[in-house]
Amino acid sequence: MAPSLALFVAFATASSVKRQTSGLDADGDGLVSKDEVFAAMTLHEALVALDRDGDGFIYLPQIIELWGVGDKFYELNTDGDNHLTFQEIENGMTLSDFYDQFDFNGDGTLDQAEAYQLHYIYDVLNTPTPVEVLDDNGDGLLSRLEVQSHMTYGEILTALDTDDSHRLDSAELMVLLGDQTQDFINAQDDNGDGVVSFGEAHHHHANLDTLFTRLDLDGSGYLEDTESAALYTIWNTIQATVPA
């Protein structure tokens, strides 16, 4: 299985503010511009941050985790194998192109939902050794009990809700669900407005157990590698709301 992309957003301090931006948002306006990204990292540094096992490769599940679809993997994969080398990526795109892949609404800047993964990359570059605290027994897998002992379904919904609207759009849901996002919206969106309200999410009897099952793509009963990746992002967002 492809190596884990442990999406661990390392917030420097916890605060009572719901959304704490990292140092990537240098001007504190809640948006991440290209200039801010260019000042913070190179494309190569971003790839190193994403390469959690240090093998020098980026795999299809990691591309899907980043951008929700795997199209870029196939476009950049010039030799047709099961991974991308750093050289393949750097030959096929610039840091500007990399940034544009996150700009889902095409407005030239990244809001907090769009910038989630870039905040992760920035924090990995500045906090090289995050601790995977969700994995209580250290076996490299997340069990249902481990997930349930650290967060609730309501906390996950709130963590994803970057604009405090109590409604989750595709960009917000993609952080957790990746290429399953549209299926989730189709199943939960009762009024057809293209978003999932908290009420709709609870109306369909969705809970942490059913969410775990959705994330457990291979049906093993555990979350491993990229299956568990987004929960590290979610957990750290939850922790950022806890008063110091």
pLDDT value at residue 175: 84
Rounded-to-integer distance, Cα 17 and Cα 184, Å: 28
In order of 27, 77, 113, 121, the CA distances from 23 in angstroms are 9, 32, 16, 11
Rounded-to-integer distance, Cα 197 and Cα 100, Å: 28
Alpha-carbon torsion, ordered 72, 78, 83, 87, to 10 deg: -90
pLDDT value at residue 243: 60
Domains of the chain: 144-239 (1.10.238)
What is the residue-level pLDDT of the chain in tens, covering all 244 positions? Answer: 333 333 333 322 222 223 344 589 999 999 999 999 999 999 999 998 888 767 788 999 889 888 888 999 999 999 999 999 999 999 999 999 999 999 999 999 999 889 989 998 998 888 644 445 788 777 778 899 889 988 999 999 999 998 999 999 999 998 888 888 999 999 999 999 999 999 998 887 778 888 999 899 889 999 887 788 788 878 888 887 766 5
Rounded-to-integer distance, Cα 203 and Cα 224, Å: 29
Rounded-to-integer distance, Cα 109 and Cα 24, Å: 13
- Show the tokens assigned to 101: 């892949």
* pTM for this predicted structure: 0.52
Residue tagged 């750093």 (tokens): 86
Residue tagged 């924090």 (tokens): 123
pLDDT value at residue 180: 87
pLDDT value at residue 232: 82
CB hemisphere CA count around 24 (13 angstroms): 32
Rounded-to-integer distance, Cα 2 and Cα 24, Å: 28
